[in-house]
Structure 1
Amino acid sequence: MKKLFLILISKYQKYISANRPQKCKYYPSCSNYTSLAVEEFGAKGLFMGLWRLIRCNPFSNGGVDYPSTNSRARLKERLLA
């Protein structure tokens, strides 16, 4: 399952994302972040990537953000607050 998600993300990066201007305010890009999260956390990494896509909008500050266990804890805090 993890391998399938990684293949789909790489196809997106190669065929869709490569033909569009970069607009992601974060580093690494949202697709790279999701790929790293899936490699590290498996299917849970997809939810981390989805949360990252929601945060990546014109009103966000952006910045450097790598997937980590702390990001899951921060997500829980925000959802429960």
Structure 2
Amino acid sequence: MNKKEHLQAQSKTRAFLIRAEIALKDNRIEDALMMLNEIKLDEMSMLSLEELHALGNLINYIKILAEEKKSELVAQLKAIQASREYL
């Protein structure tokens, strides 16, 4: 891969990361995941350490959000089950 292709791949990956971050700020987790899914493994191999770190932070943040959402859903389910038992 020549230098121009290498820079284009980095630019494309950066664009996906930026759009994923914006989606997360708008609370669109599914959109952020779809954008991260667009990043190919061969493109990741060309990223700088800083970009890989940013990607890792973004994935970790999505994981935390998913765990929080899961906890909220479990709490809601428990409340529904408790109210059904009460009735």
Same fold (TM over 0.5): no
Q: Which one has a bigger Cα radius of gyration? A: 2
Richer in strand (by share): 1
**Structure with larger RCO (C-alpha < 8 A, sep 6+):** 1
Richer in helix (by share): 2
